[in-house]
Structure 1
Amino acid sequence: MISVDIEQLYAWMNAFLWPFFRILALVGTAPLLSDSAIPLRVKVGFSVLLTVAIAPALAPMPSVPTASFAGLWIGLQQVLIGMALGLVMRIVFAAVQTAGEFIGLQMGLSFASFFDPATGANTAVLARIMNIVAMLLFLALNGHLMMLGGIIRSFDVLPIQVGSLDPNGWGILFEWSSEVMVSGMLLALPLIIVLLTINLSLGILNRTAQQLSVFAVGFPISLMTGLVLLAVVLPQSAPFLARFFERGYSTMARLAQALAGS
């Protein structure tokens, strides 16, 4: 007769439940996986399948009752870890959208916006286009597999254990968040320089030839120049985005090590 005591039941539950919390938190915050177009059941099912696949290879779980305060604290830690790792890659795509906002503002397309279901807010057209290009490149470079590999390797660097996370590790996430403005500006800088030069030239032209309507002439010139430059620069941005993705993967590893206190 097979008998199962409460300790064995807790061990079986914890071996699946706590890794599932970390993976589900990543799926709920990471780019592409957390898209609102993906049904919630698909996200949960994918997290369950991934957890079942990796759970046997993980280190032994702490012998803590699942419904105890210590067990709830461990579960909360796994959610925070997964969300932090997902936000690292989310910041990469936020920088790309910021570059689209900068370019659209200089081209005079800042008013051309529509509701984006992924963000739940109005997004500029160019920001949405650049975000789609970045997502396609992300898939072409197997970025989604690299991201999932990062969350799986985090169980080796930051195993599930009783204790607290190193608070200094959150500083890496705050430091990485500055890339939204820095990398976004670097990505948009070639177009911003040219469009700013055109705007300055139109301003000088408006002062020297005041009978010329600069608004009637300037907007088509800025728009056409921006579209031509966008067609030239956007295909050349793949190496920049590829390096940016690599920095995101390395930041995920550094964040896991910092939260572990190593």
Structure 2
Amino acid sequence: MMPGGMLRAIVEAPDAALHVVMCPFAGGSGGAFRGWHGIGDPGLNVSLAIYPGRDHRMREACAADIGTLAAQLVEALAAAGIAPEQALLAGHSMGAQVAFEVCALLERQGESPAGLVLSGCHAPHLRGRRRLSALDDTAFLTQLVDIGGCSPELLSDPALLALFLPMLRADLRATETYHRPCPPDSQRLRTPALLIHGSNDEEADRSEVAEWTHWLRDAQGPVAIAGDHFYATRRPRAFLGHIARRFEFHSTGIDAR
């Protein structure tokens, strides 16, 4: 565990100049990113943001909104000694909203992150395709299983349901209430950005991800990674390979195929 409590190192490269700070999707925890461990030396460090209500933060109350998570992560970066100019803020699905808000907070403080990676998420002025947080428990969990966001076994395990359902509901409320009109050009973020989408993602397609360009002054993409909504956890080499290409650092052992 890194200093700061919210960050967990999942890829370590001692001589790397840049540090990817990965913000996971709704319901995401360290277990979902097991596939990122042991991928070799990608030429950069990678840390995972652990939101309250899961992993070692299980006893903490879940965050009610995206802004709260972003503020916590800004504090965690400082506590971990990760300078903004070394940080590549990355997020998938709900995590893209968190990463964007972290970047906005840092820019308002006069800081300049190394980059911003927004993956598998519609832009803030759009609405998500599904509205889950108001559904009853059965319908809520059935929809999550359909998306691929939780195991079907969860439906038949009351103990697991009692443990994870409050966290899942809190995350979905936070992401579904994150909505705002497009900003004027003068308020678009200046941090260089990369947009990513899944080739078969039924939750956020290429056009919905591309709408983030209204919020950014310097955006490339969207670039595609093969897969459904959870390509980020299933294809970490491709994910990091696209980051390497966009931000032009030396990397070994990864590519964007």
TM bracket, shorter-chain basis: under 0.3
Using CA pairs below 8 Å that are at least 6 residues apart, which structure has the higher relative contact order? Answer: 1
TM-score, with normalisation over the residues of structure 2? 0.24
Greater share of strand = 2
Q: Which has the larger radius of gyration?
A: 1
